[in-house]
Amino acid sequence: MAARRFTLVQALHVVLAVGWADFVLKYRGSVLGYCWSLIGPLVKFLVILYVFGPYVQPSIPLYPLYLFLGIIVWEHFTVTTNGCMTMLFEKEGIVQRHPFPHFLLILAVGWTNIIIFSTHLAVFAVFGWFFGVSLVWSVLYLPFIMLQMTLAALGVGMLLASYCLKYRDISHLWGIAVQILFWLTPIMYPYRAQSAVTASLIAFFRQPGIHSIQNLLSLFIHFQPIAIIINDVRRVTLYPAAAGTPTALHVAGLTLICAGMFLAGKWIFDRRCPYFTQEY
Partner 1 sequence: MGSPAVDCRNIVKTFLQRKVPMRLLQDRILRWKIHSDRIRIEALRGVSLAARNGEWVGLFGANGSGKTTLMKIIAGIMRQDAGEVSTDGRLSCFFELGVGFHLERRADENIYLHGLLQGMCRTDIRRVTDIIIDVAGVRSHENLPLKCYSTGMRLRLAFAAASQIDADIFLFDEILAVGDTDFQKKCWWYLHALKRAGKTGVIVSHNMDDLERICDRIETMDRGVLNTGRAPSALP
Residues that bind partner 1 (CB under 8 A): 1-6, 10, 13-14, 17-18, 21, 25, 28-29, 91, 93-94, 96-100, 163, 166-170, 173, 274, 277-278
CA distance linking residue 140 with residue 233, whole number of Å: 11
Q: Return the number of the residue (17 or 263) whose C-beta is nearest partner 1.
A: 17
Q: Return the number of the residue (144 or 163) whose C-beta is nearest partner 1.
A: 163
Q: Return the number of the residue (29 or 208) whose C-beta is nearest partner 1.
A: 29
Q: Return the number of the residue (31 or 213) whose C-beta is nearest partner 1.
A: 31
Q: Return the number of the residue (158 or 197) whose C-beta is nearest partner 1.
A: 158
Q: Return the number of the residue (134 or 169) whose C-beta is nearest partner 1.
A: 169
Least distance in angstroms from the C-beta of 118 to partner 1 = 22
CA distance linking residue 110 with residue 114, whole number of Å: 6
Contacts of 158 (CB under 8 A, 6+ apart): 84, 106, 262, 265, 266, 268, 269
Q: Return the number of the residue (91 or 222) whose C-beta is nearest partner 1.
A: 91
Least distance in angstroms from the C-beta of 17 to partner 1 = 5
Least distance in angstroms from the C-beta of 1 to partner 1 = 4
Q: How far apart are the first and last CA of the chain?
A: 20
Least distance in angstroms from the C-beta of 115 to partner 1 = 17
Which residue from 145, 155, 152, 147 is spatially nearest to 258, judged by alpha carbons?
152
Least distance in angstroms from the C-beta of 49 to partner 1 = 35
Least distance in angstroms from the C-beta of 171 to partner 1 = 11
Least distance in angstroms from the C-beta of 166 to partner 1 = 8
The total of other beta-carbon atoms located within 10 Å of residue 263's CB is 13
Least distance in angstroms from the C-beta of 184 to partner 1 = 22
Q: Return the number of the residue (168 or 192) whose C-beta is nearest partner 1.
A: 168
